């Protein structure tokens, strides 16, 4: 069986999963929905591994899609190492997210809808990955955006959720417009949309023509798509809001896969990008990384912190592509996908445990209550922080080394700012991850629960909350017992007894350990990833050691500062103290700025335009109508009073004349004689005068 056929069948499976689950979402039980969806996903993974063995060509497979007059548009399936990697990665993470969701989404009335959307998402994501031309990529790109919309707004009765969904879709649309224009310009100047053909043409270009303004324009426009989807500055505003979606969705879509699609796209078309585009990407990536990390420092919401750290890490990947080290960026994409999914899933487990409390100030001491989650979270956090022996260290290091290498080849020293900032920010990420682990899991002197009960102001409220919690716990216990009773009956129940949530977290944590990727956990070069994907970096290896120091320093500082941090627990507002901290916390008020600069004027002007339409344009039409009627009535008046009265006048005059002349012929002999006499006299006078 050829590889493209396998992919095609695989996509059909997901399509079936989506439509069947959507159709039967209310009839099927949760168990059968979950089981069906997971089986489909599992088959997909087997397929993805099967392709790797059966197909080694790495070619584009094209099918005719449609002709526009003589121009052919094809369905291209591009199967190279990058495709295989992403194909496996997406499905692997999706599988564990689905397993996790079995428990997490349990009892949700829309359980089936959730799994249906997940199937659609995986389908669209696979579509992006296998597409070999920009039109197809764009189509699936938008479909992925649709899935994000549907899943962020999954609890559509919550206004904040649907607002966030709409915001995500619209912000992405803005970026996509740039992407769209970029595609059209590519078509105009390359005459094709086929990615491999474009790359081939770009590679034979001279350095000058590659760096021409038009190539830079194309590159930057294509990058617009990545800016929106991968949440780069200044369009990153949608990602923190997108945390309104269910946590497994945040793990799968807004951390591991969809947001990485922008990076994947840039990696696919990297040879087309001009040096100027590269530079812009490096700078923008750096800024995103810095500002994202700063925002993460001050968050109290367990998911929002992770969202900002995702933004920051995506910024690092963009830097990786910007400095031309595509494969290091991809490596980080892979490791990040695992550890960030692990972090989100663990966070989901924490949120579940805390009865949907997301404020980290109200957590603490969870290490004893949910030890498994504590370990998985810490392992993934360590990977994110860049601690040696964990996967994040390898990939982050590779990017840092490559960026220093790149800066050294640049004409001016000032280019070293980019790698230096990245290095510093990686210390910040160590700091905020430590802070998070500390706040959520470790014992604190100011035990928040005690503080809550002793706090006089919010005593009543919090007690009420606690009682509610206790009641919930009792209910949970009852439910668990019921589950245990139930679980003896079938396989599915057995799975949930083991703890599908914990199991998924464990898998992700294992995948975040450095040994999974490289035998020597200090050398990215030894990883299997760079065995497959070439990486040229040779010098600047000493950066690794500095990076380790920076990371450990970050952890240490994080521990020290968080320990001293005191929280006003009775203050329900999420805002931190201090103005700068507040600005950072609010994500630099970007959303608010957009609201005032774009949205409000738009909503202000559109009724005005509508009024213009009603009053002026339609007014002209109506007044033409009214004028015609007025003209007609004027005509009518004119007709009645002037023309008709003239006619009447003629008639009346002749009538009058008639009535006068009639009197002449009155038949009386005397009158006639007088008339004759007068006439004779007149004639005589006339003759005499003559």
Query: According to CB under 8 A, which residues from 193 to 232 bind other proteins?
Result: none
Residue closer to other proteins (CB basis): 80 or 163: 163
Burial class (CB in 10 A: 0-12, 13-18, 19+), 601: exposed
Burial class (CB in 10 A: 0-12, 13-18, 19+), 469: middle
Query: According to CB under 8 A, which residues from 60 to 79 bind other proteins?
Result: 65-71
Residue of 163, 196, 487, 570 interacting with other proteins (CB under 8 A): 163
DSSP state of 572: -
Check residue 173 for interaction with other proteins (CB under 8 A): yes
Check residue 162 for interaction with other proteins (CB under 8 A): yes
498 token code pair:
């083991």
Residue closer to other proteins (CB basis): 106 or 162: 162
Least distance (Å) from other proteins to the CB of residue 215?
Answer: 15
Least distance (Å) from other proteins to the CB of residue 257?
Answer: 19
Check residue 517 for interaction with other proteins (CB under 8 A): no
Least distance (Å) from other proteins to the CB of residue 606?
Answer: 4
Check residue 185 for interaction with other proteins (CB under 8 A): yes
Least distance (Å) from other proteins to the CB of residue 623?
Answer: 12
Residue in the block written with tokens 């507040």:
582
Residue of 471, 484, 617, 682 interacting with other proteins (CB under 8 A): 617
Residue closer to other proteins (CB basis): 224 or 334: 224
Residue closer to other proteins (CB basis): 87 or 149: 149
Query: According to CB under 8 A, which residues from 463 to 482 bind other proteins?
Result: none
Residue of 43, 174, 351, 442 interacting with other proteins (CB under 8 A): 174
Peptide bond into 234 cis (omega under 30): yes
Q: Cite the DSSP H helix spans in 191-252.
A: 195-203, 207-210, 213-229, 238-241, 247-251
Residue of 9, 42, 56, 188 interacting with other proteins (CB under 8 A): 188
Residue of 87, 100, 180, 331 interacting with other proteins (CB under 8 A): 180
Q: Which residues contact 61 (CB under 8 A, 6 or more apart)?
A: 2, 3, 4, 76, 77, 79, 132
Q: What's the 3-state SS for 110-171? A: CHHHHHHHHHHHHHHHHHHHHECEHHHHHHHHHHHHHHHHHHHCCCCCCHHHHHHHHHHHHH
Check residue 449 for interaction with other proteins (CB under 8 A): no
Angular region, 240: left φ>0, alpha ψ -120 to 50, beta rest = alpha
Least distance (Å) from other proteins to the CB of residue 217?
Answer: 10
Least distance (Å) from other proteins to the CB of residue 624?
Answer: 9
How far is Cα 90 from Cα 257, in angstroms, rounded to an integer? Answer: 6
Check residue 157 for interaction with other proteins (CB under 8 A): yes
Stretch of 9-17, 168-176, 425-433, 587-595 lying at the interface with other proteins (CB under 8 A): 168-176
DSSP 3-state assignment of 364? coil
Residue closer to other proteins (CB basis): 156 or 494: 156
Residue of 184, 548, 552, 557 interacting with other proteins (CB under 8 A): 184
Residue closer to other proteins (CB basis): 153 or 364: 153
DSSP 3-state assignment of 266? helix
233, 287 Cβ separation under 8 angstroms: yes
121 token code pair:
């998402």
Contact characters 570-609, other proteins, x per CB under 8 A? --------------------------------xx-xxx-x
How far is Cα 45 from Cα 125, in angstroms, rounded to an integer? Answer: 14
Residue of 15, 43, 49, 166 interacting with other proteins (CB under 8 A): 166
Residue of 30, 59, 108, 142 interacting with other proteins (CB under 8 A): 142
Least distance (Å) from other proteins to the CB of residue 557?
Answer: 43
315 token code pair:
């910024």
> Among positive and negative, which fits the CA dihedral 626, 629, 632, 637?
negative
Burial class (CB in 10 A: 0-12, 13-18, 19+), 257: buried
Residue closer to other proteins (CB basis): 162 or 523: 162
How far is Cα 337 from Cα 342, in angstroms, rounded to an integer? Answer: 8
Stretch of 138-146, 320-328, 431-439, 651-659 lying at the interface with other proteins (CB under 8 A): 138-146
Least distance (Å) from other proteins to the CB of residue 150?
Answer: 9
DSSP state of 643: I
Check residue 146 for interaction with other proteins (CB under 8 A): yes
Check residue 27 for interaction with other proteins (CB under 8 A): no
Least distance (Å) from other proteins to the CB of residue 474?
Answer: 28
Check residue 143 for interaction with other proteins (CB under 8 A): yes
Residue closer to other proteins (CB basis): 68 or 688: 68
Check residue 621 for interaction with other proteins (CB under 8 A): yes
Q: What own/partner pairs with CB < 8 Å and gap ≥ 24 does 212-216 have?
A: 212/274, 214/185, 214/189, 215/272, 215/274, 215/277, 216/274, 216/276, 216/277
Q: At what angle do helices 261-268 and 81-104 cross, to 10 degrees?
A: 170
Check residue 560 for interaction with other proteins (CB under 8 A): no
Query: According to CB under 8 A, which residues from 108 to 137 bind other proteins?
Result: 135
How far is Cα 519 from Cα 530, in angstroms, rounded to an integer? Answer: 12
Stretch of 88-96, 173-181, 545-553, 634-642 lying at the interface with other proteins (CB under 8 A): 173-181
Burial class (CB in 10 A: 0-12, 13-18, 19+), 588: middle
Q: Which of 435, 440, 444 is nearest to 296 (CA)?
A: 435
Residue closer to other proteins (CB basis): 73 or 589: 73
Contact characters 625-644, other proteins, x per CB under 8 A? x-------------------
* φ, ψ dihedrals at 390, nearest 5°: -115, 160
Stretch of 141-149, 222-230, 298-306, 674-682 lying at the interface with other proteins (CB under 8 A): 141-149
Binding site for other proteins (CB under 8 A): 65-71, 135, 138-140, 142-143, 146, 149, 153, 156-157, 159, 162-163, 166, 169-170, 173-174, 177, 180-181, 184-185, 187-188, 602-603, 605-607, 609-610, 613, 617-618, 621, 625
């Amino acid at each position: 069986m050829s590889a493209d056929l396998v992919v095609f069948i695989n996509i059909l499976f997901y399509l079936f999963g989506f439509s069947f689950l959507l159709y039967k979402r209310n009839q099927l039980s949760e168990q059968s929905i979950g089981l069906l969806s997971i089986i489909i996903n599992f088959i997909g993974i087997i397929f993805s591994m099967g392709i790797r063995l059966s197909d080694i060509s790495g070619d584009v497979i094209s099918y005719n899609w449609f002709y526009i007059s003589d121009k052919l548009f094809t369905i291209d399936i591009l199967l190279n190492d990058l495709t295989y990697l992403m194909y496996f990665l997406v499905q692997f993470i999706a599988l564990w997210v689905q397993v996790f969701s079995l428990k997490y989404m349990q009892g949700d009335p829309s359980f089936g809808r959730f799994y249906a959307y997940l199937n659609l998402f995986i389908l669209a994501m696979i579509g992006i990955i296998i597409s070999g031309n920009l039109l197809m990529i764009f189509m699936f790109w938008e479909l992925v955006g649709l899935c994000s919309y549907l899943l962020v707004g999954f609890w559509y009765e919550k206004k904040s959720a649907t607002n966030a969904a709409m915001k995500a879709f619209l912000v992405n649309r803005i970026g996509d417009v740039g992407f769209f224009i970029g595609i059209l310009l590519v078509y105009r100047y390359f005459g094709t949309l086929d990615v491999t053909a474009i790359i081939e043409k770009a590679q034979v270009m001279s350095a000058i023509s590659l760096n021409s303004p038009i190539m830079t324009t194309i590159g930057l426009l294509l990058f617009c798509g990545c800016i929106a989807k991968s949440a780069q500055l200044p369009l990153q505003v949608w990602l923190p809001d997108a945390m309104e979606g269910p946590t497994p969705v945040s793990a799968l879509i807004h951390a591991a896969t969809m947001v990485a699609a922008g990076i994947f796209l840039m990696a696919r078309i990297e040879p087309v990008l001009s040096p100027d585009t590269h530079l812009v990407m490096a700078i923008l990536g750096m800024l995103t990384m810095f500002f994202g990390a700063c925002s993460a420092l001050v968050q109290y919401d367990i998911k929002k912190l992770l969202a900002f750290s995702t933004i920051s890490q995506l910024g690092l990947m963009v830097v990786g592509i910007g400095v031309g080290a595509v494969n290091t960026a991809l490596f980080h994409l892979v490791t990040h996908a695992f550890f960030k999914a692990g972090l989100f899933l663990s966070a989901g487990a924490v949120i579940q445990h805390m009865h949907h409390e997301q404020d980290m100030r109200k957590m603490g001491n969870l290490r004893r209550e949910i030890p498994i989650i504590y370990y998985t979270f810490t392992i993934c956090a360590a990977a994110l922080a860049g601690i040696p022996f964990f996967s994040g260290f390898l990939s982050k290091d590779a990017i840092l080394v490559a960026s220093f290498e790149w800066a050294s080849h640049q004409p001016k020293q000032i280019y070293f700012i980019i790698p230096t900032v990245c290095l510093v920010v990686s210390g910040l990420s160590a700091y905020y991850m430590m802070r998070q682990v500390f706040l959520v899991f470790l014992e604190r002197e100011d035990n928040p629960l005690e503080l809550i009960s002793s706090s006089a102001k919010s005593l009543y409220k919090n007690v009420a909350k606690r009682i509610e919690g206790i009641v919930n716990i009792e209910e949970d216990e009852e439910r668990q017992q019921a589950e245990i009773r139930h679980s003896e009956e079938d396989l599915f129940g057995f799975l949930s007894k083991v703890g599908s949530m914990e199991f998924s977290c464990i898998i992700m944590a294992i995948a975040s350990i450095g040994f999974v990727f490289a035998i020597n956990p200090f050398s990215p070069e030894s990883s299997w990833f760079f065995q497959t994907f070439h990486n040229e970096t040779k010098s600047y290896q000493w950066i690794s050691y500095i990076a380790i120091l920076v990371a450990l320093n970050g952890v240490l500082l994080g521990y020290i500062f968080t320990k001293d941090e005191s929280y006003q627990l009775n203050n329900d507002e999420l805002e931190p103290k201090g103005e700068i901290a507040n600005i950072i916390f609010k994500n630099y008020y970007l959303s608010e700025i957009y609201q005032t600069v774009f949205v409000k004027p738009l909503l202000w002007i559109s009724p005005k335009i509508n009024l213009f339409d009603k009053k002026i344009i339609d007014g002209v039409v109506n007044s033409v109508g009214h004028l015609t009627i007025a003209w007609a009535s004027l005509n009518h008046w004119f007709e009645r009073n002037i023309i008709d009265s003239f006619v009447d006048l003629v008639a009346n005059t002749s009538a009058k004349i008639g009535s006068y002349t009639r009197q002449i012929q009155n038949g009386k002999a005397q009158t006639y004689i007088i008339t004759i006499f007068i006439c004779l006299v007149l004639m005589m006078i006339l003759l005499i005068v003559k």
